[in-house]
Amino acid sequence: MKYILMMHCPRNGYGSFGAWPKDAIREHMAFMHRLNGSLSKSGEFVMAEGLADPQQAVTVRADRDGTPITDGVFPEAKEFLAGYWIVEVDAAARAHAIAAQASAAPGPDGKPMNMSIEVRQVLSAPPAEFV
């Protein structure tokens, strides 16, 4: 089963990451690379990506004629999606264990950040004959 593990960052977390001490950023990124390497070695890694600052995000919907209509990020959001992993594991419990591991990434002081990681199963589309 595939799961997406979505790392949520507090609203003030995006701007502060770049301001962390260089050693803290290196430690944080080394942790992420070790985690991804471990998941690759176990055969559970599908992909992972960090996302750009929410200030660069837009919401898009189609107008009646299909023309894209964009809107900016809504300031009332208290958390933003910072990045994600897609893993392929045998059970939800394993996806939860990986999420807990990712949640413990070190922060600027070297202590675990205990970030919120949302875990959701990735579903397959129905076969074409059902569409």
Residue 18 lies in a domain: yes
28 in a domain, yes or no?
A: yes
Q: Which domain range does residue 95 map to?
A: 2-126
User: How many structural domains compose the chain?
Assistant: 1
Q: Is 32 exposed, middle or buried (0-12, 13-18, 19+ CB in 10 A)?
A: middle
**Is 131 inside any structural domain?**
no
The whole-angstrom separation of Cα 44 and Cα 83 is: 17
Backbone angles phi, psi at 118, to 5 degrees: -85, 130
Per-residue pLDDT of the chain (131 residues; tens, 9 = 90+): 999 999 988 766 656 777 889 999 999 999 999 999 999 999 999 999 998 877 788 888 899 999 998 887 665 667 788 899 999 999 999 999 999 999 999 998 999 999 999 999 999 888 788 76
With respect to residue 110, please indicate whether it lies within any of the assigned structural domains: yes
Domain with residue 72: its CATH number is 3.30.70.1060
Region of 50 (left: φ > 0; alpha: ψ -120 to 50; beta: rest) is: beta
